[in-house]
Amino acid sequence: MIERHLDLNEHEGKMRGTTRKNVNISFGSDEDQASPVELLVMSISGCSYGVLRIILENRKITYDSIHVDVDYLMEDAKPNKVTEVAIHFKIKNPSTDIDTLGRVLQQTIKSCTVIQSVKEAIQVNERITIIE
């Protein structure tokens, strides 16, 4: 087992987390802050995006840019659990075809720590589109 630690505290009336790398992240319910739910969804999609980029690099697949659209569904009833996250990768001018990118996406899902951690509770759907 790998053990990790985070600190959470209040700082200037806002929630703040400090990572093991001493990075501070402020979050909460104010208009200018990401909510804990948004951080959860960003963690899922951000992990997937990072893994996707590593796999593309390892396979020497080049591209001009990647844009990621993320939508998520929450239950109407309290506690409004996140039930589904849809991640849409838009890859501009990749040096490969959509079939190869589909296989890369499958490997990405299997290799993403966050998706593997939440997959029993949250349905994660991913797709890739090539844009010109």
CATH number at residue 80: 3.30.300.20
pLDDT at 29 over 90: no
Q: Are residues 1 and 40 in the same domain?
A: no
pLDDT score, position 66: 97
Angstrom distance (rounded) from CA 18 to CA 68: 26
Q: Are residues 73 and 126 in the same domain?
A: yes
Q: Are residues 40 and 97 in the same domain?
A: yes
Average pLDDT over residues 30-56: 94
Q: Are residues 46 and 84 in the same domain?
A: yes
Q: Are residues 101 and 46 in the same domain?
A: yes
pLDDT score, position 31: 82
Q: pTM higher than 0.95 for the full model?
A: no
pLDDT score, position 12: 80
Q: Are residues 88 and 99 in the same domain?
A: yes
Q: Are residues 13 and 67 in the same domain?
A: no
Residues 6+ apart with CB under 8 A from 46: 114
Average pLDDT over residues 31-50: 94
How far is CA 113 from its chain centroid? 10
Confidence of residue 103 (pLDDT cuts 50, 70, 90): very high
Report residue 15 as tokens: 């929630």
pLDDT score, position 33: 87
Q: Are residues 47 and 71 in the same domain?
A: yes
Q: Are residues 28 and 40 in the same domain?
A: no
pLDDT at 84 over 90: yes
Q: Are residues 83 and 27 in the same domain?
A: no
Full domain range(s) for residue 80: 36-131
Q: Give the tens place of pLDDT for each residue, 55-77.
A: 999 999 999 999 999 999 999 99
* Average pLDDT of every residue of the chain: 95
Q: Are residues 57 and 84 in the same domain?
A: yes
Give exposure, 78-102, as e/b (b: 16+ Cβ within 10 Å). eeeebeebebebebeebebeeeebe
Q: Are residues 43 and 15 in the same domain?
A: no
CB 25 within 8 A of CB 19: yes
How many folded domains does the chain comprise? 2
pLDDT at 132 over 90: no
pLDDT score, position 30: 83
